[in-house]
Amino acid sequence: MKSTDVLKHMQEDAEDIQRFIQDCDYERFVAEPMIRKAVCMSLINIGELTKSLSTAYKARHPEIPWRNIAGLRDVTAHKYHTLNLDVIWAVATIEIPKLKEFINHALE
């Protein structure tokens, strides 16, 4: 898969996460399993897609924590019930907007 295709899919998942938490605060995020699970599924997708990007592409963009993104995918997929929801919330509200900004710029 071409890097632009991978980035477009990542962009879709990032936008999904932003929609899922659009009218949400941390307390609601913690209280509503459907929102948490939707966010986590999109994080899994983003992490898996990250693994599809070439090593060369990732090396050209060291400002993105590719290894952490892929690692979060693994933890979210395999240890879902032990996730630190503070971390997931921070990723969704702080890191996903940064990643989306990078992707939007990269696709221009």
Show me where the domains of the chain are located: 3-107
Q: Is the pTM of this model over 0.95?
A: no
36 is catalytic: no
pLDDT tens digits, residue range 25-66? 999 999 999 999 999 999 999 999 999 999 999 999 999 999
Candidates 28, 61, 78, 105; catalytic one: 78
How far apart are alpha carbons 88 and 36 in whole angstroms?
A: 9
pLDDT of 80 above 80: no
The answer to whether residue 78 is catalytic is yes
Active-site option among 19, 73, 81, 105: 73
From the number of C-beta atoms within 10 Å of its C-beta (0-12, 13-18, 19+), residue 69 rates as buried
Q: Token pair for residue 23?
A: 């009218």
Q: How confident is the model at residue 79 (pLDDT cuts 50, 70, 90)?
A: confident
